[in-house]
Amino acid sequence: MKNRSRSISRSKNCLDPALGKKVYDYYNGVLDAVEVTEFERHLINCPRCERIILQLDHSLAALNDEQRFSKRMKE
């Protein structure tokens, strides 16, 4: 059980904070091609950054659904 708790706690931290700082720039498409490749390699092994990307996708999808719902309600 001890090893499991260690792996869970490690997943809460970015494996490479210098690259992790670029997560929002990556998501917003402002990185150059070399940075994108570097970040995507990092993303494969970093559960924290992957979780942030998935949360951003989920949040934006929810906002888009809310906007569509609000528009239908006004019609």
What is the C-alpha separation between 42 and 15, in angstroms, rounded? 8
pLDDT for position 65: 72
Question: Left if phi > 0, otherwise alpha if psi is -120 to 50, otherwise beta: which for 29?
Answer: left
How many CB atoms sit inside 10 A of residue 39's CB?
Answer: 21
pLDDT for position 51: 94
pLDDT tens-place string over residues 30-57? 999 999 999 999 999 999 999 999 999 9
pLDDT tens-place string over residues 56-73? 999 988 887 766 655 555
